[in-house]
Chain A
Amino acid sequence: MSIIRCCFESVELPEFMDTMASKCTDPGCCCGCCSALRPRYKRLVDNIFPVNAEDGLVKSNMEKLTFYSLSSPEKLDRIGEYLYQKAAKDIHRKRYKLVEIAMEAMDLLLMACHAQTLNLFVESFLKMVQKLMEDSNANLQILATNSFVKFANIEEDTPSYHRRYDFFISKFSSMCHGNNDNIELRDSIRMAGIRGLQGVIRKTVSDDLVENIWEKQHMEKIVPSLLFNMQVDQTTSLSLTEESTPSSPPVLAESVLRELVSRASFTHIKSVLRPLLTHLDRHDLWSSNHFAIHTFRIVMISIQPQYSYTVVETLMQHLDQNMKSSPRTKTSLAVVLSKIIAIAAGESVGPSALDIINNLLTHLRTSTLSIQNEVNYADELQYQEALINALGEFANHHPDYQKIEIMLFIMNTVPDLSKTSKGDQMLQNILLKSLLKVGVQYRTISFEKAFPVSFLQPLLRMARAPHIPTRLIVMQIFQALLDRHQNQSVLSAVSVKNYATLSLENPSRSDIIFTHKYGSNIKQALLDALSLDDSAEAISSAYNTAALMIAEMCCGETIQEFLLFILGIQQIAIANSELTYNHKCHLHATAVALLALLGRVTGVNNIMEYCDKIIESRQEEAEYLLPGFDDTEKNDIDSNSLNLPHLMIDKLALAECLQNAGMENNRIQTGAPYSLNQLDQSNQRHSWVEPRGSIAEFNNYADSDSVNSSPIPQRKSLVIELNFDAMKRALAEPTEASKREAREKQQQLVKTFRDANFEDLMRRTEPKHEVIQNRLNDLFNSLAVERQITQEHKNHQSNKPIYEKHFPELFYY
């Protein structure tokens, strides 16, 4: 049949004769003599091979073959098959040049083919590629890979159901691990492997009908192969990284990994991450974690942003699984976490954010509780540090309102002060530290937002912790949140200097309201904290907090409260005989330092002058009552010399100062200085089974009917003041009787509330709520019009919402 056709195609004949003549000399041509009987496509294919293998592809004949295959695409599969057969033979005979030519021809045909006819041809094309790759000749493998990559870049529109890439993935992965002695060759083999994998990924990722590239058996080959090559970059010297051109295996592997990750959908990302983690485990890449960080950065940056949270989650799970492994590994894991968590933070909001926080806290807790019997204590501490850092990083990238939520959340996990075991104490510290980490990130604008009640109260409780480190951290948290004008470092040490560098701003309306509402609670807590310990560190940190409060909150309307607070500090030093001598000196110093600061902040000259006077006279007579005095020298000072009236800050004098400055001084004249926790304003202790707290609360009820009456009698009556003025006043007033009366009343109330059944109580208290509510409404209205400090003080007690008064504990968490 072909003879006949040949006869008809007279144009081709001479050429065909030529070919026949030349082919006969070629031993590879099996039937040169009878090539006249061969089908045309075979002849065309034969013709593309040169006589001399070194000459390369016969271009003109190749064009003919291309034209032929384009005009009769149904022949394509046969052409492919024939080319493949030829190449297989040549491989067998190790005539590699001819193989290269065959491959080149296939490439050209592949490029020339139209998409719809491609499918037939691709079968033999892939068989050819596989054949080449099966050979041990590295050059053939690279050649085959290049062809495969070309194929991979072609977009096919017809699905191929039966095509498989198993072998290619296996082989390319194996090539990625190439270990040729010749470094150059090794690298090019590896590069080929990586590019091949990239090709497979490109080919399969978008096509649902072919193999699922995301399956475990494939990913377990692809991901470690890429990582292995990236890692080479890390293990070899740094000079190599500088030299590395975009064409070195590590760089290429990295870009392929990026591509892979960026194509991963939500369900697939885990199949990438799992082998990744296993690889890092296996190759022990956590302990020096540059590579791990590097890799995860890449993952985080290339992943579709909506899934980045999954990476964090997976890493967390891995941390869970590594609970038992060495703290070093865990530390590295946590460090990696802290490095990447920030990238994810932007995307995770609401519950998922808290979920991460919760997870981190759980790890912290486990670590803290296990630390006691841990041999490598230092490592474990580092681990905790890393976790806290991760937490801080995470919080840092959240908007401020979420930071508050996070802080609240952490606060709620801090174990209660009632637990005093060593483990619990450590846990308290650790958790507070993490809280501090978040707090530092928070930029306070309004105190009301920074200190929601449910956050403030437990914090204040913690401020009274007997354990010094705990208290120090709480103070730091306060400082971080209070300090809006970066005064913290300026005010860090107790001193009476001029504070020239202090930056100030008048407190806003809402700050003043906050100060009236909760300022006293904070001051109360500070006072307690000051009285707990004579450690200089503890006192100076409490001072720092108080000083920041003054700097941030003190103004004409709140000055009296602060003065009372300062007087309170002095009062403790005078009245409390249990305190050590040193402690008292510190307290006096703190009081006068705060007064000096207050004078400076408010700019009330009278107070400043008065303060200067005290400082001067102390300098002359009792330098030990001033800040900065050396502790060791204080021992030989007579204890009586502490209470010299003319060296103390006098309440009446302060009142006078205010009056002269044209300011309100009602409160300071009548109100008592702040004092220790037995007189606590009790907004902190809410349990109504606890008598002391209840008393205060019931008092509030009793008083709420007479809001306009100035200071609370019982508070004043319980004050222990031993200075002359106070004694005089105490004698003048028949306090004992009223006190007893009040107490009885309270006890009666407490009794009622304890004994009566619930319905009864409901009935009794219900109308009162309304009264209070109405009252409150009235008050708020009137507050807007006229604000008097004396009223304010009353108000802040009743301002609290009803539910908090009645079921305070319930609303804590």
Chain B
Amino acid sequence: MEDYKFLFKVVLVGNAGVGKTCLVRRFTQGLFPPGQGATIGVDFMIKTVEVEGEKIKLQIWDTAGQERFRSITQSYYRSAHALILVYDISCQPTFDCLPDWLREIQEYANSKVLKILVGTADTFETMILERNKFLCFVIQGNKTDRDDREIPSAIGEDFAKQNGMYFLETSAKEADNVERLFYEIAAELIEQARSKEMPRSETSGGGISNLANKSNYLGQNEELDERYCDGQPSGKWMMFIPKTELDAIMVLSL
């Protein structure tokens, strides 16, 4: 039945040919497509996962790595709840590009952070640095892969730590860590969503100031309420509107 509690948008970015599409395919369809062609523009997949007994719907936007599609892929970062930055452990250049990607993400996330301006130190967005073993040309599993390795785990981990990101190494071919990656994202996003909800329920008693602040709320950025709406159980989110307002009021008072 169609009954999910949360909807999250996850966007994959990274250089061309690092295996973003393979990763998504492995997760959503459970297969590893050999000879996967380059993605054009943006691909879309959906998968519902269950974390802590809650149904979570993940909208996965798989962007093209090619430079020429940058203009359209950038526009997808904006509404993402989680961004997965992918590189190929057997290809140094894809790792070297990470700072550029970060800058690009920051550029688009920046306006958002500014717009939301919530008192929370952590933005809603989770960045998960993920390391995908790119195995298209490797015949045997992990061992061969390790011979091929150019970037040791430690370096990737350091980079992730410095930039406040989660870090994971995966292999789409072997299905290593792929599930874990998305489940962890889902778990993390739920936690963040809950931590937003908590104070909301505390203050939900005193809703008198609603009217006074309503105009303020209406002036708020769309993305704010969009996000909360998306986080709501899909069928009844209309009922939650007063709560969202309250939340916004709270945000404003911070």
B71 touches A282 (CB 8 A): yes
Q: Given A179-B40, A278-B71, A282-B68, does the pair A170, B2 have CB atoms closer than 8 Å?
A: no
B41 touches A173 (CB 8 A): yes
**Is A517 part of the binding interface, using a Cβ–Cβ cutoff of 8 Å?**
no
A183 to B: closest C-beta gap in Å: 14
What residues on B are CB-neighbors of A278 within 8 Å? 71
B72 touches A220 (CB 8 A): yes
Q: Given A134-B46, A166-B79, A217-B79, does the pair A173, B72 have CB atoms closer than 8 Å?
A: yes
* A221-229, A351-359, A781-789: which lies at the interface: A221-229
Q: Give bound CA distance, A128 to B234, whole Å.
A: 13
Contact of A179 among B39, B68, B78, B226 (CB under 8 A): B39
Contact of B71 among A135, A166, A174, A220 (CB under 8 A): A220
10 pairs, CB–CB < 8 Å, chain A vs chain B: A85-B2, A92-B1, A131-B2, A136-B45, A170-B61, A174-B41, A177-B64, A279-B71, A281-B71, A282-B68
**Is B124 part of the binding interface, using a Cβ–Cβ cutoff of 8 Å?**
no
Q: Given A88-B2, A131-B2, A164-B226, does the pair A217, B43 have CB atoms closer than 8 Å?
A: no
Nearest B residue (CB) for A171: B44
Chain A stretch 1-30: residues in CB contact (< 8 A) with chain B: none
Nearest A residue (CB) for B75: A220
What residues on A are CB-neighbors of B41 within 8 Å? 173-174, 176-177, 224-225, 228
A-B contact count (CB 8 A): 84
Nearest B residue (CB) for A124: B235
B239 to A: closest C-beta gap in Å: 12
The number of chain B residues with a CB under 8 A from chain A is 32
Give the one of B29, B42, B46, B79 with max A CB within 10 A: B42
What residues on A are CB-neighbors of B67 within 8 Å? 282
**Is B70 part of the binding interface, using a Cβ–Cβ cutoff of 8 Å?**
yes
B2 touches A166 (CB 8 A): no
What residues on A are CB-neighbors of B74 within 8 Å? 220
What residues on B are CB-neighbors of A177 within 8 Å? 40-43, 64, 69, 72
What residues on B are CB-neighbors of A221 within 8 Å? 72, 75-76
Given contacts A85-B1, A225-B41, A228-B41, 5 further A-B contacts (CB under 8 A): A166-B79, A166-B226, A217-B79, A220-B74, A282-B69
Give the one of A135, A167, A221, A228 with max B CB within 10 A: A221
Give the one of B44, B68, B72, B75 with max A CB within 10 A: B72
Q: Give bound CA distance, A221 to B79, whole Å.
A: 12
Contact of A283 among B45, B64, B68 (CB under 8 A): B68
B77 to A: closest C-beta gap in Å: 10
Chain A stretch 197-237: residues in CB contact (< 8 A) with chain B: 211, 216-217, 220-221, 224-225, 228
**Is B37 part of the binding interface, using a Cβ–Cβ cutoff of 8 Å?**
yes
What residues on A are CB-neighbors of B72 within 8 Å? 173, 177, 220-221, 224-225, 228, 279
Chain A stretch 267-302: residues in CB contact (< 8 A) with chain B: 275, 278-279, 281-284
Nearest A residue (CB) for B43: A174
Q: Give bound CA distance, A211 to B76, whole Å.
A: 17
B223-249 Cβ-contact flags toward A at 8 Å (1 or 0): 000100000001000100100000000
Q: Give bound CA distance, A220 to B78, whole Å.
A: 11
Nearest A residue (CB) for B2: A88
B1 touches A89 (CB 8 A): yes
Contact of B68 among A135, A211, A217, A284 (CB under 8 A): A284
Q: Give bound CA distance, A220 to B42, whole Å.
A: 13
Q: Give bound CA distance, A135 to B75, whole Å.
A: 22
What residues on B are CB-neighbors of A84 within 8 Å? 2
A224 touches B40 (CB 8 A): no
What residues on A are CB-neighbors of B64 within 8 Å? 177
A36-50 Cβ-contact flags toward B at 8 Å (1 or 0): 000000000000000
What residues on A are CB-neighbors of B76 within 8 Å? 170, 221
Nearest B residue (CB) for A88: B2
B61-103 Cβ-contact flags toward A at 8 Å (1 or 0): 1001001111110111011000000000000000000000000
Q: Given A170-B76, A174-B43, does the pair A179, B37 have CB atoms closer than 8 Å?
A: yes
B232 to A: closest C-beta gap in Å: 12
Chain A stretch 130-152: residues in CB contact (< 8 A) with chain B: 131, 134-136
What residues on B are CB-neighbors of A729 within 8 Å? none
What residues on A are CB-neighbors of B28 within 8 Å? 136
What residues on A are CB-neighbors of B79 within 8 Å? 166, 170, 217
Give the one of B28, B68, B226 with max A CB within 10 A: B68
**Is A728 part of the binding interface, using a Cβ–Cβ cutoff of 8 Å?**
no
Contact of B44 among A170, A216, A217, A284 (CB under 8 A): A170
**Is A162 part of the binding interface, using a Cβ–Cβ cutoff of 8 Å?**
yes
A31 to B: closest C-beta gap in Å: 14
A224 to B: closest C-beta gap in Å: 4
B74 to A: closest C-beta gap in Å: 7
What residues on A are CB-neighbors of B1 within 8 Å? 85, 88-89, 92
What residues on B are CB-neighbors of A217 within 8 Å? 75, 78-79
What residues on B are CB-neighbors of A220 within 8 Å? 71-72, 74-75
Nearest B residue (CB) for A212: B222
B106-124 Cβ-contact flags toward A at 8 Å (1 or 0): 0000000000000000000
Q: Give bound CA distance, A85 to B3, whole Å.
A: 10
Nearest A residue (CB) for B74: A220
What residues on A are CB-neighbors of B234 within 8 Å? 127
Nearest B residue (CB) for A211: B222
A174 touches B46 (CB 8 A): no
A275 touches B42 (CB 8 A): no
Contact of A275 among B45, B59, B71 (CB under 8 A): B71
Q: Given A89-B1, A166-B226, A177-B41, does the pair A224, B61 have CB atoms closer than 8 Å?
A: no
Chain A stretch 567-581: residues in CB contact (< 8 A) with chain B: none
Nearest 7 pairs of A and B residues by beta carbon? A177-B41, A220-B75, A88-B2, A224-B72, A134-B46, A174-B42, A177-B40
What residues on B are CB-neighbors of A89 within 8 Å? 1-2
A25 to B: closest C-beta gap in Å: 22
Nearest B residue (CB) for A215: B222
B37-55 Cβ-contact flags toward A at 8 Å (1 or 0): 1011111111000000000
Q: Give bound CA distance, A547 to B59, whole Å.
A: 79
Q: Give bound CA distance, A665 to B40, whole Å.
A: 85
Q: Give bound CA distance, A167 to B70, whole Å.
A: 20
What residues on B are CB-neighbors of A173 within 8 Å? 41-42, 72
Q: Give bound CA distance, A92 to B47, whole Å.
A: 12
B59 to A: closest C-beta gap in Å: 8
Q: Give bound CA distance, A211 to B37, whole Å.
A: 35
Q: Give bound CA distance, A278 to B72, whole Å.
A: 9
A164-189 Cβ-contact flags toward B at 8 Å (1 or 0): 10110011011011110000000000
What residues on B are CB-neighbors of A135 within 8 Å? 46
Q: Given A177-B41, A177-B42, does the pair A224, B2 have CB atoms closer than 8 Å?
A: no
Q: Give bound CA distance, A228 to B73, whole Å.
A: 13
Q: Give bound CA distance, A357 to B67, whole Å.
A: 35
Q: Give bound CA distance, A88 to B57, whole Å.
A: 14
Q: Give bound CA distance, A85 to B44, whole Å.
A: 23
What residues on B are CB-neighbors of A88 within 8 Å? 1-2
Nearest B residue (CB) for A135: B46
Q: Given A88-B2, A170-B61, A220-B71, does the pair A162, B238 have CB atoms closer than 8 Å?
A: yes
What residues on B are CB-neighbors of A134 within 8 Å? 44, 46, 59
What residues on A are CB-neighbors of B241 within 8 Å? 162
What residues on A are CB-neighbors of B44 within 8 Å? 134, 170-171, 174
Q: Give bound CA distance, A162 to B41, whole Å.
A: 29
Q: Give bound CA distance, A127 to B2, whole Å.
A: 11
A234 to B: closest C-beta gap in Å: 14
What residues on A are CB-neighbors of B40 within 8 Å? 177-179, 228
What residues on B are CB-neighbors of A85 within 8 Å? 1-2
What residues on A are CB-neighbors of B75 within 8 Å? 216-217, 220-221
B249 to A: closest C-beta gap in Å: 19
Contact of A174 among B2, B61, B68 (CB under 8 A): B61
Chain B stretch 1-57: residues in CB contact (< 8 A) with chain A: 1-2, 28-29, 37, 39-46
What residues on B are CB-neighbors of A228 within 8 Å? 40-41, 72
What residues on A are CB-neighbors of B2 within 8 Å? 84-85, 88-89, 92, 131
